[in-house]
Structure 1
Amino acid sequence: MSEVLIRRADKADLAAIVAMLADDALGRARENASVPLAQAYQDAFAAIDGNPNHFLAVMTDGAEVIGTLQISFIPGLSLQGAWRGQIEAVRVKASHIGYKLDL
């Protein structure tokens, strides 16, 4: 294993992210990881990347994308105007599930 890093996703990571989203029982039925990617994925990435209240992360092992998640920050009136974070689309590449990482 190379150096494992977590960073903001960029457009070049999109195909790897969609492939991870499609690589489970639910994803196989609802995602389309064929290349070139559907325009809807590109539009969604642009919307996420362009909004400071959203953060799409990838975990990399060297140049390989091995994990992803999205966190959205949501303002609320409850708790005196507290912000919440919603984490979703957490995936790890199947070949790396169960690996012990030294972070």
Structure 2
Amino acid sequence: ESLGLLPNLEGLLIGYNSLTGIVSEVNFIKLSKLKFLEMSSNSFFFNVSSNWVPPFQLEYIAIGSCNIGPKFPAWLETQTSVKQLDMSQSGVSDSTPDWF
């Protein structure tokens, strides 16, 4: 929730830090300028609703080794500016949607 105190944040680069916790919509609610999200190799559990529309447009997403599955994250469909995506070992066992 304290990330909301950083509304001008463009990059959240916290990968490879042995962090743990639950990530939800409330963590991102005021981060409309976010472009780079690097959370790989932490023990995060993504708990977002299936109809969540993030307030940002990411160019770089690295959420490998975070628990985002088993469903393919529907919020990725809203991210039309992505140039690089890593969601390896993220617990997704769902089939890849047609929009992807």
TM bin (shorter chain):
under 0.3
TM-score of the two chains, using structure 1 as the length reference = 0.23
Normalised by the length of structure 2, the TM-score is: 0.24
Write 1 or 2 for the structure with the bigger share of helix: 1
Q: Per chain length, whose mean CA-contact separation is higher, i.e. which structure has more relative contact order (CA < 8 Å, sep 6+)? A: 1
Q: Which of the pair is proportionally richer in strand? A: 1
